Structure 1
């Protein structure tokens, strides 16, 4: 059985797609949690109130999207 194995011949498209999907989920999920955490912390733990927490949360989300979005692949 071990002799039947040929290194590098297995189709890994599904594993690569899963790895890419997990990376994207982690990246965008972390941004969502950070924005939500900032918003509710400023809302409930400071005298800033709802709007004082919502505005920085939205700013963080927008900046995060701008910095974390996929960059176009450079052509070599």
Structure 2
């Protein structure tokens, strides 16, 4: 990449953010690859889960529901 003066100044002020993002993305890819490889070699169930049990049903009511939206939020304006 051809370095421009503004880029050098931004790096000195804020750090090399693109490099940090690329490094974090590589780390996450390695970690997810490890998880996916470990999962594909097993039965597909999370570690420690009983082999014959069915997943718990998802409740459609109760404490897991989303909070109500406030009025006026996410409302498109008519133009």
Question: TM-score per shorter chain, which class?
Answer: 0.3 to 0.5
Flag the structure with higher helix content.
1
Bigger Rg, which one? 2
The one of the two structures with greater contact order (alpha-carbon pairs below 8 A, sep at least 6) is 1
